[in-house]
Amino acid sequence: MDYKYGLLTGTVDEMGDYKRRPLLLSLGDGWSAFLTPVDESRTQCQSWGPWGLGSVRKVKVFSFLFGLLATFLIMASYILTRDQNGLLLTPSPSQFRVTSQPMNLSSGKDNAGVKEVVRNIVAKVEFQQRKVPGLMELREREPHIFSVIPRKFLPYLKNPCWYEEHTGNSTVDPYRRNSYALYSKRFQAVYDHLRSAFQEHLHHHAGRSYRLRCLPYFYIIGQPKCGTTDLYDRLRLHPQVQFTTMKEPHWWTRKRFGIIRLSEGFRNPYPLKDYLDLFDLAAYEIQDLLGNFSRENTQLDLIIGEASASTMWDNNAWVYFYDNGTGMEPPFLVQDFIHAVQPQAKFIVMLRDPVERLYSDYLYFGLANKTVEDFHERVSESLQLFEVCLAERSMRSCVYNTTLNNAMPVRLQVGLYVVYLLDWLSVFSREQILVLRLEDHATNRKRTMHRVFDFLHLGPLTQQKEADITKSPASNTRKPANRNLGPMLPITKDILQSFYRPFNKRLAQVLRDTAFLWTQS
């Protein structure tokens, strides 16, 4: 496979979200990035005499050989082990770099230039239908997924589950090599419980042992900084709902490719079985309920949810694994594989005004010394990068462009909700995707949660339980230090509103709801 090498300009925190970091090195433009030959003038060489000239030549030779050896070792190490620390293969972001002087916010000329950039972008906004891959293509690309997940699930369970034969030694710890357990020490108590309960939850039939495996009935798929944590915290209080061991597994978008944190590069991919282990706690509860359950003409209503805010938008790994990164657009998206194994799955999306989402994203994940002026500069640079991409690529290609996304100082693309939603609607029906607004949730949590309950076909609640779910304070709100920074600059807000306006307009058309214009939040 023909990769270009380099270091990303971003990192990801423990919840899997992006932080910007300076570009350290790019190896995408040939050997010159590694070689550092001595460049001395002829006068200096002559003043040293013949020994000095020879020394320079020796330095050049040794420098060349050292660079060549270092490059070879890095390439060989990745190819053989795919277990790097700090090296992530990515096309060089230099093709998107915009060189500009620091912006003078008191100068109308600079802001006029940014507004012109936005006008150029808006003029090129178009929404083209994507080519959806066939089932055979998906099976050929990811055969392991289809060899583990069956085509049909147990009919007497509302949640998609099946019995998988357990062929291992019954005395061996089934979670000893689970990647999530090894990487996330916070969940050791949960895995200790799973280990102790494993044997009693094995189902024995005809001399064989089986374990109940499950996938989620529904997914909370996005977007970041749009209230997904608050929705998750409330929904898991419902007696008919269980969630994965951890809130954001990020398996479909990152872990199955071996991406834990972008700054650490690729590691060993997380196997599908490790992801399925995250549903075992809920599967055990389903099995316990089955003991007193009649399977005739009824279903067990307990359901499982999964909440990774990257699922809707993050397809950054495609460039390394599909078509060697040479294609203009991803040939496969996350939703293609989920639909192939779970065509009846349900999805919940929480959105907010994309202008405010971007500012919240900057405040939450940004580096120290955040200021409204710094945010303005980052927005301006990101818009220029996006404009450069659109000069040569389609809208979808730029939205999913891994190099561009890694080079952007702020995540503009995450707020282009309609681009992602249209691609999800290319494989799932509109009835399978519930789209909510954070603004509505903040003003009337009870109404929002009832919409969610109806969407998931959950049973009625007691007044006390409903009060517990709807009246608790909001989760994951802005930190006091960030609140003290105040709102973004008016000029920044005006520029961002102009940028997002055509995307919001199309979103409102698709959802048939003018509230998604965010003209009045």
One DSSP character per residue, 131-166 reads PPPPHHHHHHH-HHHHHHS-SS--TTBSS-EEEEE-
The CATH superfamily assigned to 135-514 is P-loop containing nucleotide triphosphate hydrolases (3.40.50.300)
Contact 87, 259 (CB under 8 A): no
Residues of the chain short of pLDDT 70, as ranges, are 1-109, 262-263, 294-297, 323-327, 366, 476-482, 521
Cβ pair 278, 305 in contact under 8 A: no
Contact 453, 445 (CB under 8 A): no
Nearest CA among 360, 356, 392 for reference residue 500: 356
Per-residue pLDDT of 457-472, as tens digits, reads 999 999 999 999 998 7
Domain residue ranges in the chain: 135-514
- DSSP line for 40-100: --HHHHHHHHHHHHHHHHHHHHHHHHHHHHHHHHHHHHHHHH---SS------GGGG----
Instruction: Give the integer Cα–Cα distance in Å for 219 and 432.
Output: 11
**Average pLDDT value for the chain:** 81
pLDDT for residue 262: 63
Cβ neighbors of 46 (< 8 A, separation 6 or more) are 53
pLDDT for res 323: 65
Residue 167: predicted pLDDT: 87
Largest CA distance in the chain: 98
pLDDT (0 to 100) of residue 410:
94
Tell me what pLDDT residue 324 has. Answer: 56
